[in-house]
Structure 1
């Protein structure tokens, strides 16, 4: 199963994303993946008006202090996004997205590989 080879392999697979999200939900940290996916979608937006709407939604849901799915980022990064949110560019979430990616890759992903969820899938895979 390619998901065990690298975190990128896992994220490139829709099913992998869903299984990883289920795992993160058991750790109460699914907001990390949801934020990362929202940023990936955001980067594909080309129209300025659409970008502004999407940026504000991401900010309200994940970045601002007290957000329903507040991500764990440093105050400098949070402040930087807050200052740019009125005129968001295509890269306004890049720094935060990198931080969250690193957190998932180095912290959550190794635990995922040891989790019952992943181990059960590996067993199923081997039996086929």
Structure 2
């Protein structure tokens, strides 16, 4: 891990999420906070938007809905009922943007809650210290 990477993560959540290693470290941190589903959902949505085939899009939409969106999903994300229902209605004919509203909500939650806690965490501070000593 390059020392520069670690310090860049502190600049913005986008810098953190734009780095594969940063994502993995953030996921480890979120797991300790019992909220890794937020990042996993966000990553799944990013991949979903890049799917070209309609059949793959439908299958991925059902998978994301079953894993993160439906009530009592194994990794249920914290979104409002209206957003959850809207996704449920659109799941049979999904478009690449069908999870955008939920993804924005989860991004906001990570940016305003999880990310500031990550920056203050012992995990991040230790990595930063290690990087600065190189």
Confirm or deny a common fold (TM above 0.5).
Answer: yes
Which residue in 1 is equivalent to 2:65? 59
Instruction: Name the structure 2 match of 1:81.
Output: 87
Q: Which residue of 1 aligns with 2:28?
A: 22
Q: Relative contact order (alpha carbons < 8 A, sep ≥ 6): 1 or 2 greater?
A: 2
Cα deviation, 1:5-49, whole Å, max 9, x if unaligned, reads: 000000000000000000000000000000000000000001100
Counterparts of 1:78-117 in structure 2, within 5 Å, are 78-117=84-123
Could you tell me which runs of 5 or more consecutive residues in structure 2 were left unpaired when the two chains were aligned.
1-6
RMSD: 0.3
Alpha-carbon distance in 2 for matches of 1:119, 1:20: 13
Structure 1: 5+ residue stretches without partners? none
1:38 and 2:48 correspond: no
State how far apart, in whole Å, the 1-side matches of 2:133 and 2:96 are. Answer: 45
Whole-angstrom distance in 1 between the partners of 2:60 and 2:85: 18
